Amino acid sequence: MIRYNLICSADHDFEGWFSSSKDYDEQAASGLLTCPVCGNTNVEKAIMAPAVKTARKAKATKDREAKAAMTAVAAKIRQEIGKSCENVGSNFAEEARAIHYGEKPERGIYGSTTPKESAELKEEGIAAHPLPDILVPDTDKPKLN
C-alpha cells in the first residue's frame, strides 16, 4: 500500500491509500478522487517528505531495544535475588564471615559494607562482590517522596 498526501483545488489536505502508484494515476485520471471536505474532484498529490530510515534513527531504535532488553534482564535478576537471597543490611561483613567459617548455614546474602570491611573480606579470601544498584530488589530501595 502507498499513502499519498492529497490536496484539492480549495486547499483541503487529506490522505489517500492506494495499492500502487498506477492505481492512484488511474483513479485520478478517471475523476474518482474527491475531496472528503468539499467534494471537489480537482485533486492532486501534495508535496510530502519521504519517511526515510536514517542510520541515526536505526541506531536510536537499536539502542532503545537494547536498553529495554537489559532492563528486562535486570528486573528478572532483581526478582531472583529478592526471592533467593537475604538482605542482611549493614551486617553483611559479619554474616559473610559467619557463613565462610561455617558458623551459619550457607545461603545467599546481600547488604552493605564499608570500603574497609570490603577490603578485610577480600584479605580473608571471602568472595564478596558489590551489587549494582540496578540489581538491588525493589523492596529494599529507599522510597522517594
28 shares a domain with 66: no
97 shares a domain with 40: no
First to last CA, the chain: 50
80 shares a domain with 27: no
Q: pLDDT value at position 49?
A: 64
Q: For residue 130, is it within any domain?
A: yes
Q: Kindly tell me the burial class for residue 102, based on how many C-beta atoms sit within 10 Å of its own C-beta (0-12, 13-18, 19 or more).
A: exposed
Q: For residue 145, is it within any domain?
A: no
Q: For residue 33, is it within any domain?
A: yes
84 shares a domain with 131: yes
Question: Can you give the length of the chain in residues?
Answer: 145
80 shares a domain with 26: no
Number of domains into which the chain is organized: 2
Strands 108-111 vs 85-89: parallel, antiparallel or unpaired: parallel
Task: Supply the range of the domain harboring residue 12.
Answer: 2-45
Q: For residue 50, is it within any domain?
A: no
Report the chain (145 residues): mean pLDDT per 10 consecutive residues.
Answer: 90 91 90 89 83 77 89 92 93 96 95 94 93 83 52
Q: pLDDT value at position 141?
A: 58
Written as one string, the DSSP assignment of 70-137 is HHHHHHHHHHHHHHHEEEEETTHHHHHHHHHTTSS---EEEE---HHHHHHHHHTT-------GGGS-
Q: pLDDT value at position 121?
A: 96
Q: What pTM was computed for the model?
A: 0.52
Q: Number of helices and strands (H, E) in the chain?
A: 4, 5
66 shares a domain with 40: no
CA atoms within 13 A on the CB side of 63: 6
Q: For residue 101, is it within any domain?
A: yes
90 shares a domain with 39: no
* Among 18, 43, 25, 20, CA closest to 33: 43
Q: pLDDT value at position 60?
A: 85
Q: pLDDT value at position 47?
A: 80
Q: For residue 81, is it within any domain?
A: yes
Q: pLDDT value at position 51?
A: 64
